[in-house]
Amino acid sequence: MKIVEVVSYLEEIAPLSFQESYDNAGLIVGELETVISSVLLSIDVTESVVDEALQLGANLIIAHHPIVFNGLKRFNGNNYIERVVIKAIKNNIAIYAAHTNLDSLLHKGVNTKICEKLGLINTKILSPVKGQLNKLVVFVPIDNAEPVRNAMFEAGAGKIGNYDSVSFSVNGEGSFKANDKAKPYVGEINKKHCENEVRIETVVPTYLIDKVVSAMIKAHPYEEVAYDIFLLNNVWNEVGAGMIGELEEPINELDFLHIVKEKFSCEVVKYTQLLNGKIKRIAVCGGAGSFLLNDAIRSKADVFITGDFKYHQYFNAENRIVIADIGHFESEQFTKDLFYELLMGKFSTFAIHLTNVNTNPIKYL
């Protein structure tokens, strides 16, 4: 089993195009064609994690946080980032990161894990993305419509929420005239031809557009395929930042915060003024989620669970919501378990290890 196979699988689930502009998800150190001995899963990559990989004989580390966010101009070992990269390269250990691209998923992402730990139901994306969907339109001879339509579906087109194989078709008449160099499927050279055709429309995520178009062209009988791609501004509810869901039954605010502290093994939970109500609707965001506070308020969440709020940002709750800051690491600690579940469900030819290194740089007294 080669690294490229694991990378392809992970990026099929969490495409790199889903990551934020500041991020650096993907294969950071190593070569795709390297054969995997075993894999070590972690939240961060530190020198201790690389040492652990060496002890375990693991030559691939899969982490949530990229070890490199910005370009490195020197490799002198002057900071932990340079030392980690140097040590990994010297020992032929590859490093892969799935960060904000994994955060953004509805069904298999980091925030999904948080919702599962809290037992939330009716979950959905808190701030869905826009501009990531396209309408693909193609014109096909009537007898070939079904094979072309199915080829697009198999490549990933036509999925809207809980529905797949979604398309719209209308019959019409297409016309064309083949020149001397053409090899027409129907019609004659230098003679105008009219053909009964089907206009097929379907929706395609941007990251899949090349794959779907290739499958469509391969299944299409025409030498020159007529098709259009329109970028949509529709909200895509399957991808975005944060999640929101509900408890089965409302619960007292302070009781709920105690449950959160226990489930996430928090040394401390920082929270804003309690509102003397019940907790039912909960917004969450793994990592630093203060940018989603207004979305949580608009969604009528009773509490917003995340990490890394700054002092003055707490005032923005304005007695409309309870902010519960459980810490950056604490909110993302189960990501390595998510990696484990994804890989164990797919691969069985190499050992998968969960790190024993606590990479949380913050200590509490």
Strand pairing category for 278-288 and 235-252: antiparallel
Mean pLDDT, range 211-233, rounded to an integer: 97
Tell me the one-letter amino acid at 197: E
Residues 105-152 have pLDDT tens digits of 999 999 999 999 999 999 999 999 999 999 999 999 999 999 999 999
Residue 72 has a pLDDT of 87
pLDDT at 243: 98
- Computed on alpha carbons and rounded to an integer, the radius of gyration of the chain in Å comes to 25
The number of angstroms, rounded, from the C-alpha of 5 to the middle of its chain's C-alpha atoms is 18
- pLDDT tens column, 255-291: 999 999 999 999 999 999 999 999 999 999 999 999 9
Structural domains in the chain, CATH included, are: 3-101+334-354 (3.40.1390.30), 110-127+241-326 (3.40.1390.30), 132-232 (3.30.70.120)
- Portion of the chain with pLDDT greater than 70, in percent: 100
| Dist CA 233 CA 163 (whole Å) | 20
Q: Which of 65, 49, 129 is nearest to 99 (CA)?
A: 65
Structure tokens at 114: 């948080």
- The encoded tokens of residue 30 equal 């190593």
Condensed to tens digits (0 to 9), the pLDDT of residues 145-188 reads: 999 999 999 999 999 999 999 999 999 999 999 999 999 999 99
What average pLDDT does the structure give for the chain?
97
HEC profile of 173-195: EEEEEECCCCCCCCCCECCEEEE
pLDDT tens-digit map of 29-80: 999 999 999 999 999 999 999 999 999 999 999 999 999 998 888 889 999 9
Q: Are the CB atoms for 28 and 96 separated by under 8 Å?
A: yes
Q: Do 136 and 157 form a contact (C-beta atoms < 8 A)? A: yes
Distance CA 253, CA 307 (A): 18
How does residue 304 score in pLDDT terms, banded at 50, 70 and 90?
very high
* pTM tops 0.75, yes or no: yes
Contact 100, 127 (CB under 8 A): no
* pLDDT tens by residue, 317-362: 999 999 999 999 999 999 999 999 999 999 989 999 999 999 999 9
